[in-house]
A and B are shown apart, each in its own frame.
Chain A
Amino acid sequence: MAKRITHYLLPCFVGFLYLFLYLPIIVLILFSFNKNAFTYQWTGFTFEWYHQLLKSSEIWSALHNSLLVASISVIFSISMGAIFVFFGTKVRQLLLLFYGSLTIPEIVLAVGMLSFFVVTQVPLGITALIAGHTLLGLGYVIPIIYIRFNELDTELIEASLDLGATQIQTFFKIVLPWLMPALFAASLLVFIISFDDFVISFFCTSAASQTLPIYIFSMIRAGEMPIVSALSAVLLFVSSLLVLLFSALQIKRIGFGR
């Protein structure tokens, strides 16, 4: 009897949950084609909002800012993180330093950074954002790369050093290729986190150089629905592609064995 309940109840529950997760998104995409701007009733199919999306210079500049900040944060955090993992983790305690940024609510990080920037009179904007996002990035990059790095046979490194290669040569010819999958996964992760980040951007940008999430937030607050739905639909599409890419790579990696 209990078996029958769990046999049918559980899948049903899981099914409902998946529906719960997807329903809002699907509705959002559908309604981005709605002619009606003020209420949620369906009045007709239109591409109008997508046209306005393409014409809006503010969205393009916000997109530009988001992409710029995300790319540079990725470059900074990956390079600093990879170098640290290879060279710095001989001193194990240093690793612990980096677990802090993920265990604190992001708002505390954000106000801390804001205070820091005000005290040092750093101008808020894209560079400040890059600093903050790189910090977040480090918190993800270092554990990911470290785990992958640990799987590398230390004897390979010792052998390379014994055979006369310098630290730097060893790094580029042996360690880096091994770390590649982890580096790639970490870059994708940091890019998405930086691109989607809201809290830190909200505090450290003060409306002068907006990123996309900040722009979306101010549009929602202003009640400008239709363009935001069109924008959301586009972003959803892009992130689905990215996730597909990511999953495909994961499967490929597992498929090839280690």
Chain B
Amino acid sequence: MNRFILSRLLFYIFIVTCWIGAIFLFLYTPLFIDMVRKREVINILAWPQVLDAQYLKDFEKKTGIKVNVSYFEYNEELLAKIKLVDQHGYDLIMPSDYAVKPLIEEGLLKKIDRTKLNFWNQLYPTLLGHYFDPYNDYTIPFYWTTIGLGIDRDYFNDLPTTSWSLIFDEQYAPKHIAVFDSSRELPLVAAQYLFGSIDGINEEKFLAIKELLIKQKSWVELYTDFRSEYILASKTCPVAMVFGSDLVKVMRKFDNIEFLIPQEGGFILIDSFAIPVVSKKDEVIYQFLNYLYDQKVLEKYVKKFDFFPPTKTVVMDGKFKKMSVPTKEMFNRLHFFKSVIPEAKLTDLWVTVKS
């Protein structure tokens, strides 16, 4: 009798194990597909709407190399995905400036061989040599933008001030404004406004930032990273925190909208290409990069997306020239979003402000 029960039990366990095996086989399928694919393609991890599928197709046609683009929405996501590097095998990634340093420190990036790139001298020197990669051993700047204020001139006949107080000070701020929905960026902007610098933020300063943001909430219409241009165009808010490059497409259509880098200083964001250390496809990667930075290709990008070009060979037209050429004097007034405040504090701050 005991043997009977035992054999039945074993039988059940066998069936269950088979099914578990089948299910997990199914779940791990993408890994197998990746392993097969690896040999013929370049895998890129990029911000959405920065690399256009159409141009990648052109590259494929020209060279026969297939390019796969995956997207990520937060740099933390990039860091997480890169750590799983063995399984995913990305050949090219596009971290933002503040994400580069941790990547270099953890030894996840490969040094770039500049001799293989034919556009290095065309890059704006002001975009190179920044705090996160002083000799640009690991990164090549591709996408850059300034952060400032978008202003609706129909509302402000005379700008009362050219300072961040347009969004932070009760006296000057209109009743409805739009700011970034970002726990990293907004507090640093507040710090710049309050103290003129984002360095040396101690407990006292941190509390002041917190207070300011809580106070500011009463005249914030909405928090958004990407919709600010439309908000200005549709006249929902007369002032909004914007990315300069995003504002261009709206500025083309509406004359009343202007871009302003406030007097305390604006901010800058640089997204660069970097090569993960595990990638073994150097030849094709450099081929791809040379293709991407080629003057004609970049020009198409700039025209289509209203991009700030990273190289001197492409220039934006008319009134946007000033906005999109990174001069030394412009950079003097711009700051990076450095990771000066510990994550945990930022999280707490953000939750407090939002609730």
Contact = CB atoms under 8 A, between A and B. Distances in A.
Interface of A: 38-40, 57-58, 120-123, 125-128, 130-131, 206-208, 210, 218, 221-223, 225
A225 B230 contact: yes
9 A-B pairs with least C-beta separation: A223-B227, A223-B230, A208-B70, A38-B233, A222-B226, A123-B30, A207-B71, A122-B27, A39-B234
B53 A57 contact: yes
A127 B30 contact: yes
Contact of A222 (B24, B29, B49, B71): B49
Nearest to B29: A127
A167 B259 CA distance: 75
A39 B77 CA distance: 33
Contacts of A207: 48, 70-73, 77
B31 A123 contact: yes
Contacts of A40: 234
B250 interface: yes
B327 interface: no
A9 B298 CA distance: 64
Interface in B78-128: 81, 84, 87-88
Contacts of B48: 207, 218
Chain B interface, DSSP helix/strand/loop, else mixed = helix
Contacts of A122: 24, 27-28
Interface of B: 23-24, 26-31, 34, 48-49, 53-54, 70-73, 77, 81, 84, 87-88, 224-227, 229-231, 233-235, 250, 253-254
A38 B254 CA distance: 10
A206 B230 contact: no
A208 B71 contact: yes
B95 to A, nearest CB: 15
Nearest to A225: B230
A59 to B, nearest CB: 11
Nearest to B53: A57
Given A38-B234, A207-B48, A126 B253 contact: no
A218 B71 CA distance: 12
Nearest to A117: B27
A121 B30 CA distance: 12
Contacts of A58: 53
Nearest to B84: A121
Nearest to A206: B77
A208 B69 CA distance: 8
14 contacts: A38-B250, A39-B235, A121-B87, A122-B28, A123-B31, A127-B28, A127-B29, A131-B27, A208-B71, A210-B71, A218-B73, A221-B224, A223-B226, A223-B230
Nearest to B54: A57
B253 A38 contact: yes
